[in-house]
Amino acid sequence: MSTEPFRISEGSALHADDPDPLRQYWYTADDLVDTFGYRRDALEGLFGEATPRPGGLVGWTTSVVWKIESEVIVPAVELLESSFRDQESIDLTVYRSSDG
């Protein structure tokens, strides 16, 4: 697995106007849920336990989120999309494989 240091150190434009210059390097649960569409109950399973940073903000660094998205989530989505003919087939496979 590789990383792209330029991207990791870049931060996020999501909070570029925040007076705190470090804010651009941090995502909160609200950022990930409201802006990127993640499910709140899935965040710790995906990104690990949220951690506090100086100033009291709790969440994940943009580096952690980017790394998980680029090395785990995107490849998994690409595998699903290239392996099944449609969403219904993906849903059926998930259903067959689940406890539900």
Tell me the three state secondary structure of residue 61: strand
pLDDT per position as a tens digit, 26-79: 999 999 999 999 999 999 999 999 999 878 889 999 999 999 999 999 999 999
This prediction's pTM = 0.77
- What was the pLDDT predicted at 85? 94
Of 79 and 16, the structure prediction assigns the larger pLDDT to 79
Fill in the DSSP letter of residue 49. S
Taking the domains of the chain in order of start, what are their residue ranges? 5-97
pLDDT per position as a tens digit, 80-98: 999 999 999 999 998 998 8
At residue 98, what is the residue type?
S
- What was the pLDDT predicted at 1? 45
